[in-house]
Amino acid sequence: MSTSQDLIPKIPLKPEDTELDFGFLADLALKIVYADTNCTTERAAEKLKLSMPVTEELLQHLYREKFVEIRGLITYGNNRYGMLDRGWQRAQRLLDMNGYIGPAPVSLEAYTTMMLRQSAATEMIQPEAVRTAMSGLVLPEATVQTLGLVASSRRSLFMTGPSGNGKTTIATALHSAQSGEIWIPYAIEVDGQIIKVFDLHNHQPVSVEGLARYDGRWTKIKRPLVIVGGEMTIDTMDLIYSQTVRFYEAPFQMKANGGTLVIDDFGRQRIDPHELLNRWIVPLEGRVDYLTLHTGKKIEVPFEQLLIFATNLDPADLVDDAFLRRMGYRLFVTTPSKDLYAQIFRRYVEESGFTYDSKYLDFLFRLYAEEKRPLRGCEPRDIIERCVDLCKYENRSKVLSPELLELAWNNYFGTRLTTN
């Protein structure tokens, strides 16, 4: 098994160490100079995420080709560069074909190797980590055990059950049971095309202070949690090509590699769920995914993530037995019993600064019975949050009462009751 030190990307000492074509790198460096009116070797290296010697070699090549000029020496190996007419013309042609200006990409082979090595090095999740991750939730012991098996095996999970009982919250908590960080590239190169991977919305960088020198084309992040819902379509599961910038954005499942992908509200998408499920069969079985460039070429990428489906619809209306057999685990998240509801209610009461008394719980149970409402796991939190809102708005002291609970109930459910 690889150690964390073994997984640190090695810094390229020469252009060929990048595993990229020299001409491709030189073209990217030219676009960097084009976009920076005060370009120096140091500034270009910072933007390319390459070492200064490698960057200077690229810039010297552009100088010899008369695309750029040297406008002055700052320090040894750090020159100031500017565009020449020939360079302007070439840069504009390059940008017409590919508008990417940013960190040098890594090769698809390097990305695949790194993802597989990191997956193999992942430590098995222990029961204590799962219990800690679930400590903020009130769940039956059997549910916690199933979630532990999902986390430790990294097999997929199909969660069903009525809405409002915490399926999304459970998925998020399960993700937090995974420890450690991973390395991902800013971008990947395939046949001269760029696939942008890093995305601040889904990826949270971590400090690399104290680490030995590493290949700056990679960044270290917390294991990603990507949640998609009704917006998911077949098209969003493939490479997303922008006609405006003329490069690709990685699809959400690729951005989730090394972490967790949650398909929330499954069955609420705008396309037939069977079509979506057929798209997932290969990744589920082979742990690889196939993506298509706009040229028609298909590429193979790793599918190394914990995959969770969550739905409040009847599985019989969504999937067939053949698909369910491919899922690692299935979990039905039901409405809470009165005892579990009481535990959830008491926790939120005390965490919100109120004093707990069972008479308030009895009052709520009477309201549920009168309106014939099923208990839902999210409702203790939602009702107490509205009690807090009322206390703040009316400058009340934090004291629960039937009257306060009834106001919160009415504001939550939109009903009008009279307290006996």
CATH number at residue 311: 3.40.50.300
Based on the fold, state whether residues 396 and 271 are members of the same structural domain. no
- Three-class secondary structure of residue 135 per DSSP: coil
Residue 354 falls inside a structural domain: yes
How many domains are there within the chain? Answer: 3
Q: Phi and psi at residue 72, in whole multiples of 5°?
A: 155, 155
Q: How far apart are CA 269 and CA 274, in angstroms?
A: 11
**Residue where a domain stops, chosen among 103, 126, 152:** 103
Residues 67 and 121 in one domain: no
Helices (H), 304-399: 315-318, 321-326, 338-351, 358-371, 379-393
Q: So what's the pLDDT on residue 3?
A: 54
Answer yes or no: is 42 within a domain: yes
- Same domain? For 185 and 231 the reply is yes
Listing DSSP states for 242-292 in one string gives -TTT-SEE--HHHHTTTSEEEETTTT-SSS-HHHHHHHHHHHHHHSEEEEE
Statement to judge: residues 112 and 68 lie in one domain: no
273 and 145 in a common domain: yes
**Do both 80 and 119 map to the same domain?**
no
Of 241, 239, 233, nearest in space to 263 by CA: 233
pLDDT of residue 1: 45
Residues 187 and 296 in one domain: yes
How high is the pLDDT of residue 416? 60
- Token duo for residue 256: 């989730």
Q: Would you state the pLDDT for residue 325?
A: 80
> Collapsing DSSP states into helix, strand and coil, what is residue 226?
strand
Nearest residue to 415 (alpha-carbon basis) of 361, 362, 371: 371
pTM to 2 decimals? 0.91
Quickly list DSSP for 329-347: EEEE--PPPHHHHHHHHHH
Q: What angle do CA 134, 139, 145 make, to 5 degrees?
A: 70
CA 220/CA 184 separation, integer angstroms: 6
Structure tokens at 141: 């012991």
Pairing relation of β-strands 298-302 and 288-292? antiparallel
Q: Which domain holds residue 290?
A: 108-332
Residue at 8 is within a domain: no
Q: Are residues 250 and 378 in the same domain?
A: no
pLDDT average per 10 residues of sequence, the chain (420 residues): 75 97 98 97 98 98 98 95 98 97 98 96 91 94 96 93 94 93 98 97 91 92 94 91 95 97 87 82 91 94 96 84 84 95 96 96 96 95 98 95 96 71
Q: Per the structure block, which two tokens stand in for 173? A: 């908590």
